[in-house]
Structure formats: C-alpha cells, structure tokens
C-alpha cells in the first residue's frame, strides 16, 4: 500500500485526520497504520524513532530542561457502517474521527512540522487502547521499555471537545452474588429464590447517592450502577444463584483499596468479588509545562469523567491532562464525527504552547 500520509497531508491536520481515519485500524489490526506512521517518522531528521509491537514512539533530543509527552492511540472500536470518512460542511464523519484520530493527527502533524519545540517532546502512537488492558500499547511499553515513558508532563489527545479535562476517575467492576436454594417452581416454597434476593441489591443501588468531589477546582461526579445481571437454571427451577455486576466510577481522591472498602460497605451482607479495577489520576495541574499549556488554552480545566491513560502516567508520578478536538459524547457512536474548526483551533493552541520561546 502506498503511504497516504504524504508531506502535503502531514502539513494540514484536517487532511491528516481524514487520511488516518481512512486507514482501518480496529483494535488488534493496527499494523497498517503503525507502518505508515513509522515510515513517516523515520524520515524526520529531528526525531529518533522506535517501535514496539504496533506502538510507535518518536522523540526529540535537543537538551531541553524538560520533556513532555504527546500520546494518542491508533486503534478504534469496530466499524459500524462509518468507514471510510465523509465530509459534510464543517464535519468529518467516520469511525475514529472523534476517538481519537483527530487527536493523533495533532501529534503527528507537530512531530513532523515542529523541529525546534520549547521542550523535548516524546510522541506516542500506540495500539489497543479500546480493548482489554492486557493489549494496551502504553502498558506493554511500560513493561519492556520504561525509559521511553520518562517525562515531566504528559498530554493525552483524547476527545474533550477542545476543553482541558484534568486527571480521570478510577473504575472498578465487582460481582455481587445472592444465593438461595433450588426447588421445583411448582413447589417453590421448598426453595429460596436467589433472583428475588437480588431485589435488595438493586434497591441499594437505586437509593445510592453518589459523591461529587472537587479537587483543585475540578469536579468529579461518582457513579455506581448495575451493568449486567445473570441468574436462573431452567424455566421450572427456583434459582439458587444470581450475579449482579456493578460498575463503580470513583473520584481520584480514593485509592482502589478505599473504593473497594466503600463497595463492601454499600453491599454489606452480600458476597462481593472485585473483577477489575483501574486507579484514577489526580488533576496534575502544578507542573510548569501544565501551567504553560493551560495558559495557551486560556480556559479553566474540568474534571475528566471517565478513565483514560493519564492514569498510567500519574502512577509513574508524571502529571497528565486530556485535550483533543473530538466530542467525547460521540465516541463509539455510529454517527461519530469531528468539527473541522475544532481541529484547527486545537492545532493552533498546541503549536502556540510548544513553539513559544
């Protein structure tokens, strides 16, 4: 395949967004797009480029006092009759336009066109963010090449609609289990119905009042919800087990251990097993590059409602923020799109921040 990321395309973040969207890269199928990105970056004289799996990293080494990371994931969710891209007025439609190939376009455009940034910059174009953490390119790089991640500040180019979203919520999934005694449904009084017992779990969730927490001026609104329920043996059997899967989104002032303790308090009296957890990230507004970036944006940040890979950098002691042109409400939507004006405005903001001396 001839590389569609030509010099003319790379010079324009809007054209670059379309070109990236038009390289199909559903999770676990990122080789083609990684090949194209790697080929471009290896031809840029002011960058040193490395690759691990389908994650491509390029960096400047200009001897600056501080290093910043710009990172974006190459993968998308499965296609949904929204490939290749189309344009309608000020909008580019297509899978990944919002989440997050318009953000990736920022990083790739700057990597190629900005040879003398005010900081040393590490650019990450990584695989498998949209699926299980096992495959996440940043996680794999952290295991194999932890030195690649070293920096004073990181910017994840996730969709934020041009607003700086600070930190992120933690997320925890747990299975709450009710038990009973099997019996023939014609003689149900001989048994104890575990599905009926689940009503108390659901009542506690219905009555639950989620916290709203403000940290460094950023509000994080927690949430606790049943997301899946399973129970039953057969159409004529009183069930002896019911599992209710609960997802808890917790503010970053809580550790995973504290979040689990809170879940166990809410569901006291029931069996509970945590099945998945990821810590949140505090806002990360104090680093000098973060303050300078916020000055370039010219607007106050808000708290990130959701989990992003800023948490991976926060776990390493690297403050990180989210910033991208896409609308997060359109991520994974069949009608996913991004505004051309948002792409241009955000690209100008990043250039103003990185090019200023």
Residue 227 tokens read as 């997301």
Q: Is 271 a catalytic residue?
A: no
Question: Which residue among the candidates 30, 75, 309, 336 is catalytic per the annotation?
Answer: 75
- Contact call for residues 320 and 156 (beta carbons, < 8 A): yes
Residue 196 tokens read as 């009926």
Compute CA 159 distance to the chain's CA centroid, rounded to the nearest angstrom. Answer: 9
Q: Is 75 a catalytic residue?
A: yes
Residue 351 tokens read as 């250039």
Comparing CA positions, the residue from 296, 293, 275, 273 lying closest to residue 283 is 293
d(CA 259, CA 274): 10
- Contact call for residues 3 and 18 (beta carbons, < 8 A): no
Residue 300 tokens read as 């106050």
Question: Which residue among the candidates 30, 99, 127, 129 is catalytic per the annotation?
Answer: 129
Cα angle for residues 192, 193, 197 (degrees, 5° grid): 110
Cα angle for residues 336, 31, 307 (degrees, 5° grid): 50
Question: What's the Cα-to-Cα distance from 174 to each of 169, 247, 262, 315, rounded to whole Å?
Answer: 16, 7, 12, 22
What single-letter DSSP state applies at residue 98?
I
φ, ψ (nearest 5 deg) of residue 58: -135, 145
Active site residues: 75, 129
């Amino acid at each position: 395949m001839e590389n569609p990321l030509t010099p003319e395309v790379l010079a324009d973040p809007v054209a670059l967004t379309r070109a990236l969207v038009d390289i199909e890269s559903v999770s676990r199928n990122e080789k083609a797009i990684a090949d194209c990105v790697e080929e471009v970056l290896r031809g840029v004289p002011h960058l040193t480029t490395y690759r691990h799996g389908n994650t491509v990293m390029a960096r400047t080494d200009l001897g600056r006092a501080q290093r910043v990371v710009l990172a974006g994931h190459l993968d998308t969710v499965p296609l949904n009759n929204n490939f290749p891209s189309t344009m309608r007025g000020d909008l580019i439609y297509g899978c990944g336009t919002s989440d997050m190939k318009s953000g990736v376009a920022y990083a790739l455009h700057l990597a190629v066109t900005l040879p003398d940034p005010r900081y040393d910059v590490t650019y990450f174009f990584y695989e498998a963010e949209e699926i299980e953490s096992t495959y996440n390119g940043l996680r794999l790089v952290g295991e194999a090449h932890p030195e690649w991640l070293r920096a004073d500040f990181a910017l994840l180019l996730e969709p934020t609609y041009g607003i700086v979203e600070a930190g992120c919520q933690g997320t925890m999934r747990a299975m709450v289990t009710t038990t009973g005694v099997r019996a023939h449904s014609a003689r149900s009084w001989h048994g104890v119905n575990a599905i009926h017992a689940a009503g108390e779990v659901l009542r506690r969730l219905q009555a639950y009042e989620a916290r709203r927490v403000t940290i460094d001026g950023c509000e994080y609104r927690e949430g606790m919800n049943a997301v899946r329920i399973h129970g039953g043996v057969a159409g004529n059997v009183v069930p002896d087990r019911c599992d209710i899967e609960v997802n808890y989104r917790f503010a970053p002032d809580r550790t995973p251990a504290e979040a689990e303790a809170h879940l166990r308090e809410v569901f006291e009296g029931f069996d509970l097993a945590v099945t998945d957890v990821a810590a949140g990230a505090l806002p990360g507004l104090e680093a000098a590059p973060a303050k300078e970036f916020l000055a370039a944006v010219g607007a106050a940040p808000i708290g990130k409602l959701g989990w992003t890979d800023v948490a991976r950098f926060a776990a390493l002691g690297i403050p990180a923020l989210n910033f991208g042109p896409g609308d997060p409400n359109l991520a994974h939507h069949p009608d996913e799109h991004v505004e051309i004006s948002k792409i241009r405005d955000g690209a100008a903001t990043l250039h103003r921040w990185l090019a200023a001396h």
